[in-house]
Amino acid sequence: MTSLTHLDASGEANMVDVSDKDVTSRTAIAEGCVVMRPDTLALIRQGDAKKGDVLGTARLAGIMASKRTHELIPLCHPLLISKVKVECALDDALPGVRVTAEVKVSGKTGVEMEALTAVSVACLTIYDMVKAADKGMRIDNVRLRMKSGGRSGVFEAP
């Protein structure tokens, strides 16, 4: 069983010491979705949301949030992120919006939390921008899809 690196010998939470780790190229991809009524999806598609450009605003919010992850989640290291890409795709099958975030860094610690934060905040932004039309929306399946770099190598979700 893997030990939790954020806990010390007495079980107290502490920031992990990464000073001895190598700087490597690290990437994380996360995903999630906002499920809504078909008429709410049509509102987004047509660009008729009262608050404005839903998908553009969600993309920007996700990018901004990824860069502030260390301010939101205790014990996360501040990182000099080199790339954040947030995509929001309309999906009639849900119905809703699928959100994907890819985050890259050259550093001593991974960017999984930054990718997950980007997706979460983008989904929350979508919800906020059209909640007047559909309060029954739900944010689903936020998860890490892939990470690479560092000591643990590559992880790909099934």
Write out the catalytic residue numbers.
128
Q: Distance from CA of residue 136 to its chain's centroid?
A: 22
50, 89, 114, 29: CA torsion to nearest 10: 180
Half-sphere exposure of 93 (CA within 13 A, CB side): 3
Half-sphere exposure of 126 (CA within 13 A, CB side): 33
